[in-house]
């Protein structure tokens, strides 16, 4: 339903929600005027205001331009909380813990593969399980190995031969959120996840083969080893049923904890507990396990992408050059140090449908990226384009080093399915030069381009507001969908 939250224009790309009622701080939304008109159609602005009511919030309750309604927090929401008096909320992370995206560059040019794109996409679809409940039949993990994946992240995958050691350098947190404790994860979550490593899942998750269509900053693109016409691969997926179950389990725990600690909630979906509480610490440990599961999931899929390219093009790894540009989280709560009012403070940063965007010279960047900043990967829909950006000092100052994560839905899956019925979506995409394979026609209907904002508009707001800097635009050639 439409929101009636008061909102004031600060400039062309920033909108303030004034502090009122039980709000402990203001809300700030990054958007342009046409976007605000769309955003007002759901309850996401009210959710921004609700987050501002939570104990220990530091700075403003933030929303990126891809904001839309979510569970508790809006998708596209960012909030920081004090370590002493603040809270942790599963709704500020989301059900698909560490849903994220990684980008691979290659030594191939678009002209080299255009005649083989069907064969390549068919092979990827054959080698990477996709769809609801998809499982990898040839990867069976013992309980011990599963626990190693949950605690060590991509380090475990590389030790098993699924990738190379240098991959770790180009993954947020080197592919491992510390503090994972499998004993705080339910048996149900273990059971759901054990056969799902290396699978794409469903919804908006995808593997996309494309190419660099435009370069906006030649120097930064060179710093990321990207050039016009170069073939790229995007992997977008998360923690599958494992992360969903962790979230579901701990929402029940935190609902009880909210009452136990007498936290006045504007919405029960914002159930939370003090960061220092046993309940929050257990959740953060289980969340770390789910985040590491997701990192491993993208790593295994990357391994099978590399194998598939070798199979189709009969080339070795050196000639193919499928190297990792970067891998970023979208749904996570992390303890980070940020400067607030001139003083460095440890904070728990909730990013839900938002991407970390650290600037040049950040100590958390690989040495090759020190001068250019952290790569920020913004996937679009299967019929348009995606973007590569880098983080900025403005993002670090205003948003705790955060920016948008994608286009943002404007239609529910049910609405999109209704709009797309009777249309030959796959043929429409083929007419645009994009070959798509999906686990089912229903998923492809739900993911039609019209179901999303135009990611170019979202990225333009980010760029103009200074919380990300455009580097390159990627166009799809072939996509596999869940």
DSSP labels, 301-332: HHHHHHHHHHHHHT--HHHH--EEEEEEESEE
Q: How far is CA 428 from CA 164, 278, 383, 423, in A?
A: 38, 53, 9, 8
Residue 5 CA to residue 45 CA, distance in Å, equals 7
Short-list 341, 477, 387, 425, CA closest to 103: 387
CA angle 160, 161, 167 (to 5 degrees): 110
Confidence at residue 133, expressed as pLDDT on a 0 to 100 scale: 62
- Residue 3 inside a domain? The answer is no
Residue 369 belongs to domain spanning: 8-84+98-481
Give dist(CA 76, CA 61) in Å, integer.
11
Q: Which of 59, 140, 4 is nearest to 349 (CA)?
A: 59
CATH at residue 302: 3.90.1860.10
In 185-330 the beta strands, taken as DSSP E runs, fall at 206-215, 230-237, 273-274, 323-329
Taking alpha carbons only, the member of 322, 325, 307 closest to residue 376 is 325
1 in any annotated domain? no
In a domain, 89, yes or no: no
Of 256, 226, 252, 258, whose CA–CA distance to 104 is shortest? Answer: 226
- Please state, in angstroms and rounded to a whole number, the distance separating the CA atoms of residues 361 and 372: 8
Residue 198 three-state SS: coil
Q: How far apart (Å, rounded) are the C-alpha atoms in residues 38 and 232?
A: 32
* 90 domain residue, yes or no: no
Answer whether residue 378 is part of any domain: yes
Full pLDDT tens readout for the chain, 482 residues: 445 799 999 999 999 999 999 999 999 999 999 999 999 999 999 999 999 999 999 999 999 999 999 999 999 999 999 999 999 999 999 999 999 999 999 999 999 999 999 999 999 999 998 766 666 656 778 889 999 999 999 999 999 999 999 999 999 999 999 999 999 999 999 999 988 999 998 778 999 999 999 999 999 999 999 999 999 999 999 999 999 999 999 999 999 999 999 999 999 999 999 999 999 999 999 999 999 999 999 999 999 999 999 999 999 999 999 999 999 999 999 999 999 999 999 999 999 999 999 999 999 999 999 999 999 999 987 778 999 999 999 999 999 999 999 887 777 778 878 887 878 888 888 888 889 998 777 777 877 777 777 899 999 999 999 999 999 999 999 999 87
CA dihedral 304, 114, 171, 279 (to 10 degrees): -70
Residue 2 included in any domain: no
| Burial bucket for residue 165 (CB in 10 Å: 0-12, 13-18, 19+) | exposed
How far is it, in rounded angstroms, from Cα 451 to Cα 379? 14
Domain count, the chain: 1
Query: Which residues, including other chains, have CB under 8 Å from residue 145's CB and lie 6 or more apart?
Result: 156
The answer to whether 399 and 359 have CB atoms below 8 angstroms apart is no
Which residues are known to be catalytic? 405
Which residues fall within 8 angstroms of residue 98, CB to CB, at 6 or more apart?
A: 177, 238, 239, 243, 290, 291, 292, 293, 294, 295, 329, 330, 331, 332
Contacts of 3 (CB under 8 A, 6+ apart): 40, 42, 43, 44, 45, 46
Model pLDDT, residue 2: 46
Indicate whether 73 belongs to any domain.
Answer: yes
Q: Is residue 320 situated within a structural domain? A: yes
How do the residues of the chain divide into helix, strand and coil, expressed in percent and rounded to 5? 40, 25, 35
For residues 290 and 419, give the distance between their C-alpha atoms in angstroms, rounded to a whole number. Answer: 34
């Amino acid at each position: 339903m439409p929101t009636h939250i008061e909102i004031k224009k600060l400039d062309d790309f920033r909108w303030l929600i004034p502090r009122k009622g039980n709000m402990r701080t203001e809300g700030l939304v990054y958007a342009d005027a046409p976007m605000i008109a769309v955003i007002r159609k759901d309850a996401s602005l009210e959710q921004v205001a609700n987050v501002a009511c939570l104990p220990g919030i530091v700075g403003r309750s933030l929303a990126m331009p891809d904001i839309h309604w979510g569970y508790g927090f809006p998708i596209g929401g960012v909030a920081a909380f004090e370590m002493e008096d603040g809270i942790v909320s599963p709704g500020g992370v989301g059900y698909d813990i560490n849903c994220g995206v990684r980008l691979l560059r290659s030594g191939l040019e678009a002209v080299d593969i255009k005649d083989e794109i069907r064969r390549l996409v068919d092979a990827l679809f054959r080698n990477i399980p996709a769809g609801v409940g998809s499982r990898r039949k040839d990867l069976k993990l013992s309980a011990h190995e599963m626990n190693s994946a949950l605690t060590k992240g991509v380090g475990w995958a590389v030790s098993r031969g699924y990738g190379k050691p240098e991959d770790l350098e180009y993954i947020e947190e080197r592919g491992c959120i510390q503090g994972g404790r499998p004993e705080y994860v339910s048996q149900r979550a273990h059971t759901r996840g054990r056969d799902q490593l290396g699978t794409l899942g469903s919804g908006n998750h995808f593997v996309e083969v494309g190419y660099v269509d435009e370069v906006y900053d030649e120097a930064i693109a060179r710093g990321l080893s990207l050039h016009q016409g170069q073939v790229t691969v995007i992997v977008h997926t998360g923690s599958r049923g494992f992360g969903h179950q962790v979230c579901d389990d701990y929402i029940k725990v935190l609902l009880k904890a909210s009452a136990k600690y007498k936290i006045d909630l504007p919405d029960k979906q914002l159930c939370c507990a003090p960061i220092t509480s046993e309940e929050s610490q257990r959740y953060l440990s289980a969340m770390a396990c789910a985040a590491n599961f997701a990192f491993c999931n993208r790593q295994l899929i990357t391994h099978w992408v590399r194998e598939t390219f070798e199979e189709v093009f009969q080339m070795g790894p050196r000639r193919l050059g499928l190297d990792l540009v970067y891998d970023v989280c979208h749904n996570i709560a992390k303890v980070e140090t940020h400067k607030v009012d001139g003083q460095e403070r440890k904070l728990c940063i909730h990013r839900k449908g938002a991407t970390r965007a650290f600037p040049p010279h950040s100590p958390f960047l690989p040495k090759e990226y020190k001068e250019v900043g952290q790569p920020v990967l913004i996937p679009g829909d299967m019929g348009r384009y995606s973007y590569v950006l880098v983080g900025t000092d403005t993002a670090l100052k205003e948003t705790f080093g955060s920016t948008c994560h994608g286009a943002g839905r404007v239609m529910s899956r049910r609405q999109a399915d209704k709009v797309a019925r009777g249309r030959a979506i796959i043929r429409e995409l083929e007419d645009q030069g994009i070959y798509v394979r999906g686990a089912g026609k229903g998923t492809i209907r739900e993911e039609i381009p019209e179901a999303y904002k135009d990611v170019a508009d979202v990225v333009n707001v980010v760029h103009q507001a200074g919380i990300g800097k455009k580097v390159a635009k990627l166009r799809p050639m072939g996509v596999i969908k869940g």
